[in-house]
Amino acid sequence: MKPKIIFLTRNGLMEPLGQSQVLRYLIGLSKDFNSTIISLEKKNDIKNTSLKISIQSQCDENNVNWVAKKYTNFFGPFSHVIDILKMIVTCFIEAKKGANLIHARSYIPALAAMIVGKILNINYIFDMRALWPEELITSGRIKRDSFLHKILLLLERHAIKNAFSVVTLTNASLAYIFDLYEHEICHKKVVVIPTCTDLEKFYPSNKKSDYVIGCSGSVLSGWFDLDKLAVFYSFVAKKNPFMKFEVTTKDNHVIVTEFLHRRGVPIDRLRVFSSTVENMPSVNQHQCASVMFYKGNQLSELGRSPTRMAEVLGCGNPVVSNSGVGDVAEIVNQYNVGVILDNCDENSLELAYELFIELVSNSNTSHRCREAAEKVFSISSGVRSYAEIYNQAKSF
């Protein structure tokens, strides 16, 4: 009989991230484990009947039980409390039916897993993802050493202390975690599993354009460096009159377009648009490279593993990024799959542009990018890592 896993996620399965970073893993694990996913779905996503049917069909086809609850966002700070209670009650009900392990994706699910695990004597995995308290500080949502920050650090400490195993996205975050929680984590199994992607969907194509640079994902999050994106795009625009620029995002298109245009990106060569999850491979395949700048060299960035990087490299495209962001610079330098740009002075931009042109003009670049994706970001590799943890952590 297959062990039963309860997977808790605050991200909805109907969100792009939920489909790529939750459902794909559970489908891969479904051969060896029975899974129940408890997710919090956004109101607008729930209205998308066709998408809901599609997600439910994928779950049914792979014997994954999906328990969808509504995400709460109309009670201000109390919304988090309501969501926590929803997750605790739902997890308890599902665990009472029989469960060998609880997999908590991020901090709020970890609180639910910790409580239910204690009551029913079930092990749980604390899948930290990024360093959430630090991300909230970087984005300006909370202040360091505030009451809320201290509460989140207390949650982080206890989630690590009581977990059977801890999963983090980057090697760069390990020293920080071990230094801050030396006693809580010293005897734990700690595993690095980066943000992986389905490389059967994201693959190189002959549709590639030599004159389209892309950027995908949120750029108004507070931790993305939109200023640096504007500087780089405008510099390339001046150097190359044929180059076009794209931003694929669900952020407000007018705000993004006006910001980039004011900073010197030609409006007639700029396209800001949204895309479905299904169309993202073709979006990347059409481009020659992708840009991703973050507020680097902050504690929050130690734990960041950009999903967009895995998808871009999978399609054979190099990346332009900055250092101080998880393992990004190390991967770029080790596999020679991109350009690291930290300073935006004229000399640094000129050098970055020359390296960029050299990469996109080299016929071997696509192969190196794909090879790096297969070695670092393959979802099958992530599935194997999770399966190993599940087998070690399951409670009988």
Of 288-292, 294-298, 305-309, the range with the highest mean pLDDT is 288-292
Q: Indicate whether 295 pLDDT > 90.
A: no
**Does residue 258 share a domain with residue 387?**
no
Whether 123 contacts 162, CB under 8 Å: no
pLDDT tens-digit series, residues 22-32: 999 999 999 99
Q: Quick one: DSSP state of residue 198?
A: -
Q: Provide the percentage of residues in the chain whose pLDDT is more than 70.
A: 99
203 assigned to some structural domain: no
Residue 304 burial (C-beta neighbours within 10 Å; 0-12, 13-18, 19+): buried
205 assigned to some structural domain: no
How many domains does the chain divide into? 2
Torsion-angle region of residue 368: left (phi > 0), alpha (psi -120 to 50) or beta? alpha
**Does residue 294 share a domain with residue 170?**
no
**Does residue 190 share a domain with residue 238?**
no
Domain range for 145: 4-196+379-393
pLDDT band per the 50, 70, 90 thresholds, residue 223: confident
Supply the Cα-derived Rg of the chain in whole angstroms: 21
pLDDT tens-digit series, residues 312-364: 999 999 999 999 999 999 999 999 999 999 999 999 999 999 999 999 999 99
**Does residue 234 share a domain with residue 147?**
no
| CA neighbor of 329 nearest in space, from 317, 343, 319, 315 | 319
Give the whole-angstrom CA distance, residue 10 versus residue 22. 11
> Cα–Cα–Cα angle for 340, 344, 347, nearest 5°?
90
What pLDDT is attached to residue 346? 96
**Does residue 283 share a domain with residue 220?**
yes
**Does residue 184 share a domain with residue 217?**
no
Whether 103 contacts 127, CB under 8 Å: yes
Domain CATH code at residue 251: 3.40.50.2000
pTM for the model: 0.89
pLDDT band per the 50, 70, 90 thresholds, residue 166: very high
Q: Where does the chain have alpha helices with state H?
A: 16-18, 24-29, 43-46, 49-61, 78-96, 107-120, 132-138, 147-162, 174-180, 182-185, 226-239, 253-262, 280-286, 307-314, 328-335, 346-361, 365-376, 379-393
Q: Indicate whether 396 pLDDT > 70.
A: no
| CA neighbor of 332 nearest in space, from 145, 324, 139, 35 | 324
Q: Which pair of tokens denotes residue 295?
A: 């507020």
**Does residue 188 share a domain with residue 289?**
no
269 assigned to some structural domain: yes
